[in-house]
Amino acid sequence: MTKQNLQPTYDANFASSQPMSGVENDEIDLRELFSVIWQGKWLIIAITFIFAVGSVLFAINQPNIYKSEALLAPADSEQGGGGLAALAGQFGGLASMAGINLGGGGGVDKTQMAIEVMKSRQFTSNFIQKHNILPDLIAAKKWNIADNTISYDGELYNNVDKTWLRIVKAPFRPEPSMQEAYKVFSKIITINAAKDTGMVTVSVEHLSPAVAHQWVNWLVQDINKEMKDRDVAEATRSTTFLKSQIEQTNIADIRSILYKLIEEQAKTIMFAEVRDEYVFKTIDPALIPEEKSKPKRALICVLGTMLGGMLGVMLVLIRYFVKKES
């Protein structure tokens, strides 16, 4: 018997009929895509040009926004804290027996509390109403550099009659509410505290550099006064309560504690009355900015042009593949 040749044979025709490798297919696809893009180059150029012109017009029509900022440092808390801590260590046991809390814990940081108060709705509403800045906040349209005045949107506010002309649906009214004002104000104010140094930066953005500068100064003054008034009111209430407790006890040690507590509250009131920079000391005061902070017109033009180019390429490719499938 003869042995059959079982070795596989190579069929050149069969090999040539097999599909091309993935790399070669990818190369063909890329060439096809580049060819499609090149054929639709005029559409891409037209769309890019339209977006470029539109972005330039948009950037030109955007008003300049100026930012004024102040650098603040937390004021030293010389009142209350050290004295109460000493009393807590000396008379803590007796005070507990009498039901008096001398406050051994750290409590809330006064600087952080002041920052949160500045961001609160109540403080913002009081600030807007106190300084009557609602028209400058909501209806300001343009800053006139020649006479340093603000032009208002005639569809929103009549500066001559001091009346609001907005057309809104209920429950909104022509005059913006404090909730609306708070939303707008919270977008133009920035309060940042540095974790490493503890320094606080307060900044305001507005069409008018003079307005931005004025609002930063008012914010610093008002927050110092607000925190001062809170501490004075609390110290006054505490003093009244402690005096009533003295009248109700005959224990000498307890009365000694109460008298020392009254002394600490008197120090708090005195400290507040003689110091205007109660919570924040101004390290670098706000200035009237000479250069705008935004808009970045060159960036707007570049991004608009790039968006137009990408949209043009997408439209050319989509049009090609739609025709190919049909």
**Residue 107's pLDDT band (boundaries 50, 70, 90)?**
low
Higher pLDDT pick, 104 / 304: 304
Closest C-alpha among 253, 263, 267, 264 to residue 92: 253
Strand, helix or coil for residue 79 = coil
Domain boundaries, the chain: 24-61+298-325, 66-293
Residue-level pLDDT at 259: 83
Q: What is the pLDDT of residues 219-261, one digit of tens each?
A: 999 999 999 999 888 888 888 888 888 888 888 878 888 888 8
Give 262-303 pLDDT, tens digit per residue. 888 888 888 888 888 889 999 999 999 999 988 888 999 999
Helices (H), 70-170: 81-98, 110-119, 121-131, 134-138
pLDDT at residue 116 is higher than 90? yes
pLDDT at 90 (0 to 100)? 52
Task: Looking at 189-290, list the stretches that DSSP marks H as alpha helix, in order from N- to C-terminal side.
Answer: 209-248, 252-273
- Distance from C-alpha of 294 to C-alpha of 288, rounded to nearest angstrom: 15
Residue type, 188: I
Instruction: Read off the pLDDT of each residue in 163-177 and give the average, rounded to a whole number.
Output: 90
For domain 66-293, is the CATH number 3.30.1890?
yes
Mean pLDDT of the chain: 82
Range with the poorest average pLDDT among 30-39, 79-88, 108-117, 118-127: 79-88
If pLDDT is split at 50, 70 and 90, which confidence band does 80 have?
A: very low
Percent pLDDT > 90 in the chain is 43
Q: What value does the CA radius of gyration of the chain take, rounded to a whole number of Å?
A: 36
Q: What pLDDT, on a 0 to 100 scale, did the predictor assign at position 115? A: 92
CA–CA distance, 55 with 61 (Å, rounded to integer): 10
